[in-house]
Amino acid sequence: MKVVSLLTLFFVSICAVAEPIHLIPQPVALTEKPGKFTIDAGTHLQTNDPSLQPAAAWFSTQVGTPLPQGKGGKTQIILEVGTMKDRNLLGKEGYVLTITPSTVRIKANEAAGVFYGLQTLLQLTPPETTAASKGPIPIPCAEITDYPRFGWRGLMLDVSRHFFTKQEVERYIDEMVRYKYNTLHLHLSDDQGWRLEIKSLPMLTQKGAWRVARTGARWGEALPALAGEPATEGGFYTQDDMREIIQYAKQRFVTILPEIDIPAHSLAMIASYPNLSCTQLPYPVNAGFRNPTRDDNALCIGNDTVFEVLDKVFTELAALFPSEYIHIGGDEAYKGFWASCPKCKRRMTEEHLNNVDELQSYFVKRMEKMLKSKGKKLIGWDEILEGGLAPEATVMSWRGMKGGITAARMNHQVVMTPWDFCYLDLYQGESAAEPPTYGICRLKDCYTYDPVPDSVEEKYILGGQGNLWTESVPTFRQVEYMTWPRALALAEVYWSPRSARSWDGFTSRMEHEFQRLDASNIKYARSAYNVIFTPKKADRDFTVSMSTEVSGLDIYYTFDNTNPDPYYPKYDGTPLKFPLGATQLNVITYRNGHPIGAQVNIKKDELAKRLDQGRHVY
């Protein structure tokens, strides 16, 4: 009887401390099993194919314990590729992960699947596990079958508006593969900088990669260059740098998609070679946005030299990047200079084009032929639909989902990246508590959108990506802050079955993952814990309601300019009116008696401004 009681207490205590498994993205099928596997000095790592050696070596560096390779050891991690009985289901990136007390086995059709299985295995380790970890690492036993919903799971990093070093780009790759992303779209050129060495056009980096330094300037706020002021801010990747980035990414099963933004957003190219614009005026590369109605930032489509220069650019890009696609931008082209340019008018007459929209379409179609001759496919922002879509172009839909729907109905492939769900440069919470930017794209917006509209066939949707433009992102720490956790939400959208998604389940797993990000010194935003204000007209004044994205938080508030805490009024869901004379509302969120969100102080006048404004203006 005593033995039974002790055993009962033992199992009760085990159950009491056992935590549920937290994974992002959520796998297709997960069965938790009793027991645990322990990684320690006695664990051996074996593979059945040479293609798995890089992944095996990489995994050893992540757990802080060099794992001997080959058979033997008291416990084993076995990595296997080969034809699986459910090969078609698992595809190129799926895997089966089986964990017992003595063995971890990851089986896949191809090495990429094993690599993603290892990412899942790492997430099963304690959150504090890093490359510097010491001592045994316990992993709960489980059976997992997993494969992605979409083949294109990407993030875009704008390295033009602010330059990020080779080492920072590689760190970004390391962070994104944790969550099974497989595409890094690099925005390599824009008005604010040209970032890739083109050996046949040296001025692109000698001049186009540099601008005068301006701290904290964004959008059109940057002061123009002063007379004689040197251009010292910027940088570029040599082709050797880019080869190293490409190889680094390849070892982690990430494709680098290069973008050269044309025909507009081309000021850095025009500053380097002024004869490429309609005006042919000398323009400097500047820290802020240009006014395209005043400053010509578009290439002259009537100028044959433009196509000669672009042929040189894309010849070198095609030789450098293994990606089957090259992104040509194609967005936000101001067409006013084309309409008045004699060369562009002549081109329109010769090609029987009716308007400047058709002139841009002519340009895109010519780019498609150029890229096709170099073995590459063209992809561009949804403006490439205007005037007629190039025959084999792939569309990246950013101005909502309409462009993607139109392209898919024309039987073109689409990458969905609508700005109000996927733009990581937008505000992610109340603007009063965030670094200045524009718009709004909350964590919940990212998580609850679906890349496949009801009106199109899923086979035309390659997948999607989150886009981080960096006009307001000057440092890599801010890159991380704007990326995470919204990219956690998008990772689940692009990988997991739609039916597996649950907002409350995701936020619970996200909070567990925050511990892992902390251990890795990755900066992330906690904006989802902050209050959301919703003003509404009432009589001659207005009321304000308050809510939070994350469920189960308490909101405390004051109108008297003091800092709220749990001894102040708790919001009960009833819309509030500002008391007579009050000009500011101060709020903070708590959970279980402890502050969890930032204190947000907002003026009455600011809330009043929002009454007639849309969701993207603050």
Task: Write the pLDDT tens digit of every residue in 523-581.
Answer: 999 999 999 999 999 888 999 999 999 999 999 999 999 999 999 999 999 999 999 99
**189 DSSP β-pair partners:** 194
Q: Is the peptide bond before 497 cis (omega within 30 degrees of 0)?
A: no
Separation CA 266–CA 268 (nearest Å): 6
How would you classify the pairing of strands 461-468 and 152-158? parallel
Structure tokens at 188: 């390599």
Separation CA 371–CA 364 (nearest Å): 10
CA dihedral (10, 11, 12, 15) positive or negative: positive
**Stretch 245-271: mean pLDDT:** 97
- Beta carbons within 8 Å of 512's beta carbon, 6+ residues apart: 22, 127
Judged against a pLDDT cut of 50, whether residue 489 lies above it is answered with yes
Structure tokens at 481: 């802050």
Judged against a pLDDT cut of 90, whether residue 59 lies above it is answered with yes
- Selecting among 110, 146, 158, 190, the annotated active-site residue is 190
Decide: 309 and 273 in contact? Cβ < 8 Å. Answer: yes
The least confident of 297-306, 564-573, 603-612 is 603-612
Domain pair 152-219+230-507 / 530-612, same fold: no
Query: Which CATH architecture does the domain made up of 530-612 adopt?
Result: Sandwich (2.60)
Task: Give the pLDDT band (50/70/90) at residue 3.
Answer: very low
**Stretch 162-183: mean pLDDT:** 98
Decide: 280 and 270 in contact? Cβ < 8 Å. Answer: no
**Stretch 110-134: mean pLDDT:** 93
Separation CA 506–CA 502 (nearest Å): 6
Q: Which H or E element spans position 466?
A: strand 461-468
Annotated active-site residue 332? The verdict is: yes
Annotated active-site residue 412? The verdict is: no
Q: What pLDDT is recorded for position 11?
A: 38
Structure tokens at 164: 């990020």
**Stretch 118-132: mean pLDDT:** 93
C-alpha closest to that of 571 among 545, 595, 610? 545
Task: Give the pLDDT band (50/70/90) at residue 88.
Answer: confident
Residue spans of the domains in the chain: they are 2-146, 152-219+230-507, 530-612
Judged against a pLDDT cut of 70, whether residue 301 lies above it is answered with yes
Amino acid, single-letter form, for residue 345: K
**Stretch 163-171: mean pLDDT:** 98
For the chain, what is the mean pLDDT?
92
**CATH among 3.40.640.10, 3.60.15.10, 3.90.1150.10, 3.30.379.10 for 2-146:** 3.30.379.10
Judged against a pLDDT cut of 60, whether residue 2 lies above it is answered with no
Annotated active-site residue 539? The verdict is: no
Structure tokens at 315: 């010849």
Q: What pLDDT is recorded for position 87?
A: 73
Place of tokens 């993952």: 513
Decide: 55 and 118 in contact? Cβ < 8 Å. Answer: yes
**Stretch 74-90: mean pLDDT:** 86
Amino acid, single-letter form, for residue 479: V
Judged against a pLDDT cut of 70, whether residue 274 lies above it is answered with yes
Percent of the chain with pLDDT over 90: 84
**Stretch 460-489: mean pLDDT:** 97
Q: What pLDDT is recorded for position 215?
A: 86
Q: What pLDDT is recorded for position 221?
A: 67
What is the per-residue burial (b if ≥16 Cβ within 10 Å, else e) of 444-462? bbbbebebbbeebeeebbb
Fold type of domain 152-219+230-507: TIM Barrel (3.20.20)
What count of other Cβ atoms lies within 10 Å of the Cβ of residue 513? 22
Based on C-alpha coordinates, what's the Rg of the chain?
Answer: 27
- Selecting among 22, 265, 327, 412, the annotated active-site residue is 265
**Helices 476-483, 486-495: crossing angle, 10 deg rounding:** 50
Q: What pLDDT is recorded for position 10?
A: 38
Decide: 50 and 56 in contact? Cβ < 8 Å. Answer: no
- Selecting among 170, 332, 511, 606, the annotated active-site residue is 332
**Stretch 1-18: mean pLDDT:** 41
